[in-house]
Chain A
Amino acid sequence: MKTILYIIQKEFKQIFRNKGMLPIIFVLPLLQLVILSNAATFEIQNIKFSYIDNDKTSLSRELIDKFNASTYFNVLTNFSSEKEATSAMLQGDVDVILEIPQYFERDLLKDKKTNLSVIINAIDGATAGVENVYINQIVQDFNKKAQVSLFQPEDLKFLPKNIASIPSFWYNKTLNYKTFMVPGILVLLVTMITLFLSGMNIVREKEIGTLEQMNVTPIKKHQFIIGKLFPFWIIGFALLTIGLIISKVIFNTPIVGSLGLIYFYTAFYLLVILGMGLFISNFTDTQQQAMFIAWFFVVIFILMSGLFTPIESMPQWAQYLTEFNPVKYFVEVMRMVMLKGAGIAEITPLFLKTIFYALVMNALAVWSYKKTN
C-alpha cells in the first residue's frame, strides 16, 4: 500500500509538472464540450427556400407568407421559371423549390383541391426528409385555414372531422437538442482524455527507459498498475465534474437523476477505459503507436455509441458489435440518469455489463504487463 502511494505521488507530480499537457487535459476538452454541444445539432434551420408563383393571387401569396413566417425557412428568391430555379439549385443557392401552379386559387375554390410541386435537394437524405416534414406541416396548416375561410358552412358538414394527434414530449419537453447532446459529448471527452493519457503514460516510461528500471525493482505488478492508473481515475472524475458544472451552468441541462449514481457508475466505467489504455500501452513501443491505436478505437466507439446516430437504425450485425462498446453504455446511462431520472434498478443491466467489461479489460491488462520477458 505504501509503495502504491509513492507511485501515485510521483505520477501526480509528473502530470502537474508537464506544462504542455495540463491545458490539453483540462482546457481543451471543456472548450470542445462548449463548442461541440452548440455546433453538433441535427436541428435543420435556415433552409434556402425558393418558389415559383405561377398563380400570383392573394391565396398563393398567403401560402408563401406562411413559409416566410416560419423560422426554418429563409425565403430567398422568387423565380419566374422552373429552368431558372433548377439551375439555382444546381449551383447550391437553393435547397427547396415550391412551384405554385397556375389557377391555384381558382382550383382550390372550385374543385376544393389542387396540387403543389415541391423539389428538395436530397443529397443529404436525412436533411431532405426533415425539410419535407416542415413543408408538409406548413401546407397542412395552410389547408386547414383555407378550408375554414373558403368553404361555405354546408360544405363543412361533408368534410371528415380532423383527427389530430397531440404529442407530448417526455424527458425533453422543449425538444432541446443540446439536452440530448451534452451528456453524450461529456462522456466522449471523459473517455478520450482518460484513454489517451493512460495509454501514453506507460509507453512514455518505455520510451525513456524508466519502465525497465521499474521492472528491476521489487514493485509488484498490481502496485505498479494501480499506482499508474489511479491518478487518471481521479482526473477522469475531475473532468466529469467540470463537465457537469458546465452543462448545468451554460446549457442548463437537467440533471433529474442522482449525481451519486452517475459518479458511482463512472467509477467502474473509468476502470474499463484505464484497463484498455494499459492494455494498449503493453502492446506498443512508442507514444505515436499508442496514440494511433487509441484513436482507432475512440473513433469506432464514438460512431457506434448512439451518440450521433441511433443504434436502433444500425444493421443487426452492427448492433451486436455495439455490445462491445463501453462508450455506448456510458452514453445510455448518462442520458437515462440525467434526463429520465433513472435509478439503480433501471441501469443495473448496463452496470453489470460495464463491471464485467472492466474485469475482462483489467485482467487482460495485468496479464499482458510482464516484468519478466
Chain B
Amino acid sequence: MKEKNVIQVKDLTKKFGDFTAVNKITFEVKQGEIFGFLGANGAGKTTAMKMLIGISKPTSGEATVANFDVYTHPEDIKKNIGYMSQKFALYDDLTVRENITFFGGIYGLSKTKIKEKAEALISELNLQEVANELVGSLPLGWKQKIAFSVALLHDPKVVFLDEPTGGVDPITRRQFWEMIYKNAHNGTTIFVTTHYMDEAEYCDRVSIMVNGKIEALDTPKKLKEQFNVENMNDVFLKLARG
C-alpha cells in the first residue's frame, strides 16, 4: 500500500519568524488521485505547496514526494513533478513550439521525443494554426491549457496546479478539467489548489486548510454528509468562518 502513496506528509510545518504559515499538516495522496487542496487566501496553501515542490525548506515535519525526501532530495523531486501556476503560464516572447522545445529540453527529453510530443500536443489541442505564434498573443484560456500540457511533457508522477483556472471562462474550465481527468486516469497524480468550489466537487478527495491547519480531509461526498450541507461551497464557508 505504501508505495502507492505518491505524496506523504506528516506534521509538516513552516514558520516565518513568529508566524506559523503551515501548522503540522498531515496527509497522503495516492497514485492517480485528484487531490483538491483548498483554503482561503492566506490559509497557507501556497506555502505548503512550495515545500512539496522543493522550492521552500520546511521548518519541521516530514514529507516525501514521489518517494523522495523534500529535505534531502528536492532536485530529484523536481525531475518527477510538473508544476503550473496561474501567475506564470509560459514564456510570452517564445512561440508555442519554442516553449515546448525549451521545457522538453530542460527536462532532458531527446530531440526526437520533443518533436513527437510537440506534434501530439499541437494536434490534441488543435493548435496547428498558432503553433508558430508568440504565446503572448494567445488568449489566457489557451495559454493555461498549453501550460498544463507542457507541465506534463516529461511524464511526471505528480502535477502540481496552483489555481490553474483563475480568470478563465467556464467552457475552458470545463475543458481543462476534462484534461485533468484524462491524465489522472492514465495514472498521473494531480495536486490542485482552487478557489472554485464546483471544481472541488470534481476532486477525488479534498483537504481544506484554515489558518495553516488542515481542518477537513475527505471525499467531497463524505464532507458534505459530515457537515450536513448540500454542496462544497457550504462546507467551505462553515469551516472558513469557524
Residues on A close to B: CB < 8 A? 2-3, 5-7, 9-10, 13-14, 17-18, 208-210, 212-213, 215-220, 371-373
When the two chains form the complex, which single residue of A2, A6, A373 contacts B102, counting CB atoms closer than 8 Å? A6
Inter-chain contact B106/A216, CB cutoff 8 Å: no
Inter-chain contact B106/A219, CB cutoff 8 Å: yes
Inter-chain contact A213/B83, CB cutoff 8 Å: yes
A372-B56, A372-B57 in contact; A212/B85 too (CB < 8 A)? yes
Number of interface residues of B (CB under 8 A): 27
| Most chain A Cβ neighbours within 10 Å, of B88, B101, B103 | B88
| Most chain B Cβ neighbours within 10 Å, of A7, A212, A373 | A212
Give the CA-CA distance A213 to B107 in the complex, in Å. 12
- As a 0/1 sequence over residues 16 to 34 of chain B, the CB contacts with chain A under 8 angstroms (1 = contact) are 0000000000000000000
Give the CA-CA distance A5 to B114 in the complex, in Å. 15
Give the CA-CA distance A209 to B102 in the complex, in Å. 17
Minimum C-beta distance from B47 to chain A (A): 11
Minimum C-beta distance from A209 to chain B (A): 4
When the two chains form the complex, which single residue of B56, B94, B103 contacts A373, counting CB atoms closer than 8 Å? B56
Q: Can you list 6 pairs linking A and B with CB atoms under 8 Å apart?
A: A9-B102, A209-B85, A216-B81, A218-B75, A372-B74, A373-B57
Inter-chain contact B88/A217, CB cutoff 8 Å: no
Q: Does B177 contact A (CB under 8 A)?
A: no
Contacts of A10 in B (CB 8 A): 91, 94, 98, 102
Q: Does B185 contact A (CB under 8 A)?
A: no
Contacts of A3 in B (CB 8 A): 105-106, 108
Contacts of B101 in A (CB 8 A): 6
Minimum C-beta distance from A261 to chain B (A): 37
Q: Does B2 contact A (CB under 8 A)?
A: no
Residue of A nearest to B83 (CB): A216
Inter-chain contact A216/B54, CB cutoff 8 Å: yes
Minimum C-beta distance from B90 to chain A (A): 9
Give the CA-CA distance A220 to B76 in the complex, in Å. 11
Q: Does B182 contact A (CB under 8 A)?
A: no
Contacts of B81 in A (CB 8 A): 216
Closest 5 CB pairs of A and B: A6-B105, A209-B88, A216-B83, A209-B87, A218-B79
Inter-chain contact B88/A13, CB cutoff 8 Å: no
Inter-chain contact B98/A13, CB cutoff 8 Å: yes
When the two chains form the complex, which single residue of B56, B76, B88, B94 contacts A14, counting CB atoms closer than 8 Å? B94
Give the CA-CA distance A9 to B99 in the complex, in Å. 11
Q: Does B138 contact A (CB under 8 A)?
A: no
Give the CA-CA distance A50 to B88 in the complex, in Å. 70
Minimum C-beta distance from B83 to chain A (A): 4
Q: Does B43 contact A (CB under 8 A)?
A: no
Minimum C-beta distance from B192 to chain A (A): 15
Contacts of B107 in A (CB 8 A): 217-218
Residue of A nearest to B70 (CB): A372
Residue of A nearest to B104 (CB): A6
Give the CA-CA distance A216 to B52 in the complex, in Å. 10
Segment 9-61 of B: residues with Cβ below 8 Å from A: 53-57
Q: Does B93 contact A (CB under 8 A)?
A: yes
Contacts of A5 in B (CB 8 A): 105
Inter-chain contact A17/B85, CB cutoff 8 Å: no
Give the CA-CA distance A14 to B102 in the complex, in Å. 12
Give the CA-CA distance A372 to B14 in the complex, in Å. 14
Segment 63-81 of B: residues with Cβ below 8 Å from A: 74-76, 78-79, 81
